[in-house]
Copies of this chain bind each other. A is one copy, B any other.
């Protein structure tokens, strides 16, 4: 029993203060999702490995936490399996279940399994932890919460418009300044087609995505390694430099239209134009930036893609999403178009903590501490305490009357409780009690009714 205690790396305990702050973020999200007509679902922590494998690429498969089969799992391994020494292959023989890696694949699985009871369009939100066997580092955990909101079963761009409004509502409510980067997979496809690089789409967008970090010249050098004509590259470079020099979304759309000028690209630009126009009319355009370089890795996006960043810190993406035309196709239900996004609660928490944006009263779980230092009055104290609680006052009765009052006051102070009720013998006879303000040190002799009023007003 002398081994040092620990929890698995990349996981965390949450103290009362942390839980309250996290709950504040979740409650804000839930309240706003509900206002927009979204309903909550929950799925199990464990999914069949067959549901999860192959959905997140080869790298993702490696990051799945697998759950060992119960009982005599060895019986399913042959000597051959064992002698081969292939960990991945062997793991599939001894594990049938895995911890969910995100909420998107479980949602697609849910939609397919529940398709007969779902009324489409289905607007759902889901706030649950996910697990990834990633290398833990600052801001990256092996257990973290995703807060997903999706609309499935509609092609309408009004769905995207509402997502933009939700982003605005959420970060206004959390008092965080943000910028939403907006792009469309079809624009990227149009751009690739314009450069005759359709067959090198992933490489092309991956290189473009680096422009922020490595600059346009380095990007051009990397692109030149692809099978593309130099004059086209020159045109692309000109276009990108011009694009990046503009700040107006509509001007960006204009020049993109004249440069890309092919069917798929124009379709994407038209969709983006719709969103930018609606955003303008809804007074949220100033937070939106058409970013033609935004690629987002996930292969299932087919239209709008978006990413939200804090504009007060350099903490990276705090929300991301997009439209997918065939998410449930992987489970045999084709032609269900959807659009959705995921808020990164852990990163939002870190930013709010850094910028000190949490409301102050969150860290005060209890309203009043009832001191207890006389013999044989515990029943009266319990009754007083119950009266407070009946009036929705969070009241913490101290249990041990042999502890000195001074020590009890110290405990109340350490627990950050703003009021202490002191009930002495005189007070009991009078039916009035001392209410001490722990911040100012002031003390008031009041009836229970007045005490309730005073605490509620504070």
What residues of chain A have their CB less than 8 Å away from a CB belonging to chain B?
1-3, 5-8, 11-16, 19-20, 23, 34-37, 39-48, 50-51, 62-63, 65-68, 70-75, 82, 85, 87, 90-91, 94-97, 99, 109-110, 112-114, 117, 119, 121, 123-124, 129, 131, 133, 143, 151, 154-156, 158-159, 161-162, 165, 169, 278, 281-282, 330-332, 365-366, 369, 372, 378-379, 382-383, 386, 389, 392-397, 399-400, 411, 414-415
Return A135 CB to nearest CB of chain B, in Å: 10
**Are B39 and A365 touching (Cβ within 8 A)?**
yes
- Chain B residues with CB below 8 A from A278, complex form: 378-379, 382
- Chain B residues with CB below 8 A from A411, complex form: 119
Return A382 CB to nearest CB of chain B, in Å: 7
Return A369 CB to nearest CB of chain B, in Å: 8
Return A405 CB to nearest CB of chain B, in Å: 16
**Are B282 and A386 touching (Cβ within 8 A)?**
yes
**Are A2 and B332 touching (Cβ within 8 A)?**
yes
**Are A87 and B74 touching (Cβ within 8 A)?**
yes
| Alpha-carbon distance between A13 and B40 when the two chains are bound, in angstroms | 11
| Alpha-carbon distance between A133 and B331 when the two chains are bound, in angstroms | 27
Q: Which of B41, B119, B332 contacts A415 (CB 8 A)?
A: B119
| Alpha-carbon distance between A260 and B281 when the two chains are bound, in angstroms | 82
Whether A399 contacts B19 in the complex (CB less than 8 A), given A8-B47, A129-B45, A389-B35, comes out as no
Q: Which of B34, B68, B72, B129 contacts A365 (CB 8 A)?
A: B34
| Alpha-carbon distance between A6 and B52 when the two chains are bound, in angstroms | 12
Jot down 24 A-B pairs with beta carbons below 8 A, ordered by A.
A5-B112, A5-B332, A6-B113, A7-B113, A8-B44, A13-B42, A13-B114, A14-B42, A15-B114, A19-B39, A19-B41, A19-B42, A35-B389, A36-B396, A37-B369, A44-B143, A46-B131, A67-B68, A68-B95, A70-B133, A119-B411, A121-B400, A158-B378, A282-B386
- Chain B residues with CB below 8 A from A48, complex form: 6-8
Return A118 CB to nearest CB of chain B, in Å: 9
- Chain B residues with CB below 8 A from A113, complex form: 5-7, 13
| Alpha-carbon distance between A386 and B158 when the two chains are bound, in angstroms | 13
- Chain B residues with CB below 8 A from A397, complex form: 37, 158, 162
**Are A50 and B400 touching (Cβ within 8 A)?**
no
**Are B71 and A87 touching (Cβ within 8 A)?**
yes
- Chain B residues with CB below 8 A from A35, complex form: 389, 392-395
| Alpha-carbon distance between A11 and B43 when the two chains are bound, in angstroms | 9
Whether A46 contacts B8 in the complex (CB less than 8 A), given A65-B70, A399-B158, comes out as yes
- Chain B residues with CB below 8 A from A46, complex form: 7-8, 11, 65, 131, 143
**Are B73 and A87 touching (Cβ within 8 A)?**
yes
**Are A99 and B5 touching (Cβ within 8 A)?**
no
- Chain B residues with CB below 8 A from A365, complex form: 34, 37, 39
- Chain B residues with CB below 8 A from A63, complex form: 70
- Given contacts A7-B43, A13-B43, 11 further A-B pairs with CB under 8 A are A5-B109, A7-B109, A13-B41, A13-B44, A16-B39, A19-B42, A23-B40, A36-B395, A45-B129, A121-B399, A156-B399
Return A85 CB to nearest CB of chain B, in Å: 6
